[in-house]
Structures are given as C-alpha cells and as structure tokens.
Amino acid sequence: MEPFPITPSGRMQQHLPSANSVLVLGILSIVLCCCYGIVGCILAIVAIILANRDTRLFHANPGLYTESSYRNLRSGRVCAIIGVCLSALYLICIILFVVKFGLSVLLHPHEMQQRILEMQHR
C-alpha cells in the first residue's frame, strides 16, 4: 500500500495542511479546560478556525487530499467543540463561585473552608 494514494489525474494525494494540528489542539483543549477555562477555550477556538479552513479546502477538491487526514480533521473538530463546551462550563462555574464567595476566598483557601463549613451548618 502506498503512503499517499494516486489521484485519477496521476497526482499523489496529500494530507490536509492543518489536520494533525487541529487534532492535537482539540485534544489539548479538553485536557486544559481546567485551567480556569481560558486556555482550553483559546485552543479550541483556534482548532475550530483551522478545521473550518481545511474543510473548505477538502470540499473544494476532495480527490487531492487523503481520507485519513480528513478523518483526523473531523475528530479534532469534534474534540475542539467538546473543549469549548467544557471550558465555557468551567469558566461559568468559576464566575459563579467568585460571585457567591468573593475573590478573596479564592486567594485565601482557609477562609473558603470556613465559609463552606458555615454554609453546611445552616
């Protein structure tokens, strides 16, 4: 089996330019969604932008690119969408936590423990 299949016009198929990058960024966006939601969200948005660009390339000339790179691109896009959702959810939780307990509680864990104990005893 050849590493790059030949197109009907005799040209070798190539990988989509950003397919592997999109896959890596999509997976990292899920893994790093816990970094206050910001890092995961940025990585996921970049991955989605790159995926949309490469999807247009693939649909403009599908015979020029390998099917495996297109599958990697789709998988990376799905991971990026999941990463955006998880990051946004985590960011919303952080914002609600700051609204409920205040920013000083995040900076002083001992105070946070006291406030949680107070809430439990009510």
For residue 13, what is the DSSP state?
Answer: P
Domain ranges of the chain: 19-120
Q: How confident is the model at residue 9 (pLDDT cuts 50, 70, 90)?
A: low
Question: What secondary structure, in 3-state letters, does 16-84 show?
Answer: CCCHHHHHHHHHHHHHHHHCCCHHHHHHHHHHHHHHHHHHHHHHHCHHHECHHHHHHHHHHHHHHHHHH
Gap between the Cα atoms of 105 and 18, Å rounded: 42
Place of tokens 């599908």: 62
> Model confidence over 48-81: pLDDT tens digits?
999 999 999 999 998 899 999 999 999 999 999 9
Residues 6+ apart with CB under 8 A from 114: none
Gap between the Cα atoms of 60 and 81, Å rounded: 23
> Model confidence over 16-56: pLDDT tens digits?
999 999 999 999 999 999 888 899 999 999 999 999 999 99
